């Protein structure tokens, strides 16, 4: 089995490549900068220099394509659409023009493409999408581009909950507060979220290559049990053996912090996960997904409890001096 992975140097892609190698899969990674391999440096894989808009000549014997490349934070809204929408369109068109015939293309998307839960009900794969941020809109448009090719390629789309794990930078700021002994908590009703540990996600991606699936299938991937941010914080506090003091954060204060952070991002031209779009996400009551379809058709089961996943993540941060 030979697999092409886009976004292989990133947080998700690097974990996926490590799992594929453990499964004795021959991996071909699309890499923009061969001098910046980050987490995949030294791994026994084939490297192809290129990007979504400039795809090099691909091996004709690719069995599976894992399209994990994408943009999760940006200083300009247009960048989301350039990479997540137009980049996906360009990538699929290039696969077609090169006459590559994979057995399946697994396209990585996000629950942000659907939008938050309504009335406490988990979103399903059939829930009409109502993204609320440019990131979510761009990922939904990326899904649309992928599905345009579902009669040419067998295409499967995974919509992932909030992803965390070793090498992730998005949850890091939250865990830094926990290390200080502070449990930030919004001063209103508890927020619940469907989380996905990156190693569980990698397993779900691999399962998509092993199951008989119809082209155009969409799956929600996350831990079946949603958690509040307080529960996540307490799990991190236990992992770091910290006594936590809950600090209630009013929404207006969080908005001001997000506004200042966004201004700083634009001045420094360095994207940060915390901005006004993230504030819009955070003030929603629930981001919950129904994962029953993945359980039934993919036989997907999460292998890590929240405490296990958070502890493994925290331990990695500490070992690598990120915390």
Name the least confident of 74-78, 136-140, 193-197, 289-293: 74-78
Count other Cβ atoms within 10 Å, centred on residue 98: 15
Structure confidence at residue 265 as a pLDDT band (50, 70, 90) = confident
Question: What was the pLDDT predicted at 187?
Answer: 63
Question: What was the pLDDT predicted at 188?
Answer: 67
Question: What was the pLDDT predicted at 281?
Answer: 83
Structure confidence at residue 69 as a pLDDT band (50, 70, 90) = very high
Name the least confident of 29-38, 41-50, 217-226, 270-279: 270-279
Average pLDDT, the chain: 93
3-state secondary structure string across the chain:
CEEEEECCCCHHHHHHHHHHHHCCCEEEEEECCCCCCHHHCCCCCEEEECECCECCCCCCCCCEEEECCCCCCCCCHHHHHHHHHHHHHHHHHHHHHCCCCCCEEEEEEEHHHCCCCECCECECCCCCCCCCCHHHHHHHHHHHHHHCCCCCCCEEEEEECEEECCCCCCCHHHHHHHHCCEEEEECCCCCEECEEEHHHHHHHHHHCCCCCCCCCEEEEECCCCCEEHHHHHHHHHHHCCCCCEEEEECHHHHHHHHHHHHHHHHHHCCCCCCCHHHHHHHCCCEECECCHHHHHHCCCCCCCCHHHHHHHHHHHHHHCCCC
More confident site: 294 or 264: 294
Check whether 2 has a pLDDT greater than 90: yes
Question: What was the pLDDT predicted at 283?
Answer: 79
Domains of the chain: 2-167+194-224+287-303 (3.40.50.720)
Question: What was the pLDDT predicted at 255?
Answer: 77
Q: Is 50 exposed, middle or buried (0-12, 13-18, 19+ CB in 10 A)?
A: middle
pLDDT in tens, 136-188: 999 999 999 999 999 999 999 999 999 999 999 999 989 999 999 999 888 66
pLDDT in tens, 297-307: 999 999 999 99
Structure confidence at residue 279 as a pLDDT band (50, 70, 90) = confident
Q: Which of 76-90, 239-253, 266-280 has the highest mean pLDDT?
A: 76-90
């Amino acid at each position: 089995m030979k697999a092409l992975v886009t976004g292989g140097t990133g947080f998700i892609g690097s974990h996926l490549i490590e799992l594929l190698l453990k499964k004795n899969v021959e991996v071909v990674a699309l890499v923009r900068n061969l001098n910046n391999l980050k987490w995949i440096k030294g791994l026994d894989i084939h490297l192809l220099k290129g990007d979504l808009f400039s795809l090099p000549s691909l091996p004709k014997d690719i069995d599976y394509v894992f399209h994990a490349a994408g943009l999760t934070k940006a200083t300009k809204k247009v960048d989301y659409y350039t990479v997540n929408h137009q980049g996906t369109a360009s990538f699929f068109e290039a696969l077609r023009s090169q006459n590559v015939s994979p057995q399946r293309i697994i396209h990585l998307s996000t629950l942000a493409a659907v939008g938050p839960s309504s009335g406490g009900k988990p979103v399903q794969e059939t829930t009409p999408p109502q993204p609320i941020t440019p990131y979510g809109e761009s990922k939904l448009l990326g899904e649309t581009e992928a599905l345009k090719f579902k009669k040419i390629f067998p295409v499967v789309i995974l919509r992932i909950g909030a992803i965390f794990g070793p090498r992730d930078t998005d949850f890091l700021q939250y865990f830094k507060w926990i290390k200080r002994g502070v449990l930030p908590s919004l001063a209103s009703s508890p927020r619940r979220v469907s989380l996905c540990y990156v190693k569980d996600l990698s397993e779900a991606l691999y399962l998509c290559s092993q199951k008989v699936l119809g082209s155009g299938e969409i799956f929600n991937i996350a831990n079946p049990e949603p958690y509040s941010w307080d529960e996540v914080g307490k799990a991190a506090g236990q992992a770091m053996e910290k006594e936590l003091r809950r600090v209630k954060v009013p929404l207006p204060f969080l908005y001001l912090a997000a506004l200042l952070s966004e201004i700083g991002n634009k001045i420094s031209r360095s994207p940060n996960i915390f901005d006004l779009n993230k504030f819009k996400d955070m003030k929603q009551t629930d981001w919950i997904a129904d994962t029953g379809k993945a359980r039934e058709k993919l036989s997907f089961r999460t292998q890590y409890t929240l405490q296990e996943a958070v502890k493994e993540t925290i331990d990695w941060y500490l070992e690598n001096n990120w915390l």
